């Protein structure tokens, strides 16, 4: 009876926990700890192209994947919204939703769009399937010689529109 219980426990852990390697930038490999429900990675780099052949790159201190959600810490990212528009960012935390093609950035966020404008905020949503970057939090946007503060914004790359929701203040430098 005891040997049967031990056998069941050993088989459970053998089926749930497995280990494989992934490659990181230096050509070294790092352990990827995996279960049926969750995968944890240290110093991951993600690079892929979506159906429209746009580049999406993420580097992070750590990643934890559960189904279609990837939680990232200390993230550096790059998303190509279209042929002429790149969006680069640094953030404390991010959640990448692979099924809806959205990235939720949290914490201290610094982002820029082809160095045309820079965004500072605590929360930003990047919907790379619909080419939209938005926030419902206070933001600061630096553009050439002006600083714009607003409660929220929406940048739709399809129609090249940058909209601000409320509390807009502009300061010319």
pLDDT over 80 (residue 19): no
| pLDDT given for residue 37 in this prediction | 54
**Regarding predicted confidence, which is higher, 142 or 152?**
142
107 falls in which pLDDT band (50, 70, 90)?
very high
Q: Quote the CA–CA distance of 71 and 60 in Å, as a whole number.
A: 10
75 falls in which pLDDT band (50, 70, 90)?
very high
| Span 27-41, pLDDT tens digits | 443 444 444 556 777
CB-based contacts of 134, cutoff 8 Å, min separation 6: 124, 125, 127, 152, 153, 154, 155
Cβ count near 125 (within 10 Å): 16
pLDDT over 60 (residue 14): no
**Regarding predicted confidence, which is higher, 113 or 18?**
113
Q: Quote the CA–CA distance of 127 and 50 in Å, as a whole number.
A: 12
Domain residue spans of the chain: 37-135
Q: Is domain 37-135 annotated with CATH 2.60.450.10?
A: yes
Burial class (CB in 10 A: 0-12, 13-18, 19+), 64: middle
């Amino acid at each position: 009876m005891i040997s049967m219980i031990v056998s069941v426990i050993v088989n459970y852990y053998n089926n749930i926990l497995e280990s494989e390697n992934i490659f990181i930038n230096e050509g070294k490999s790092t352990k990827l700890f995996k279960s049926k429900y969750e995968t944890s990675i240290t110093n991951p780099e993600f690079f892929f192209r979506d159906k429209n052949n746009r580049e999406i790159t993420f580097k992070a201190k750590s990643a934890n994947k559960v189904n279609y959600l990837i939680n990232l810490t200390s993230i550096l990212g790059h998303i190509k919204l279209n042929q002429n528009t790149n969006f680069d960012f640094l953030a404390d935390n991010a959640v990448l939703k692979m099924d809806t093609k959205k990235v939720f950035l949290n914490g201290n966020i610094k982002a820029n769009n082809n160095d045309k404008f820079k965004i500072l905020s605590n929360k930003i949503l990047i919907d790379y399937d619909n080419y939209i970057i938005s926030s419902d939090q206070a933001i600061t946007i630096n553009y050439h010689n002006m600083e714009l503060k607003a409660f929220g914004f929406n940048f739709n790359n399809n129609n090249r529109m940058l909209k601000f929701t409320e509390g807009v203040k502009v300061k010319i430098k």
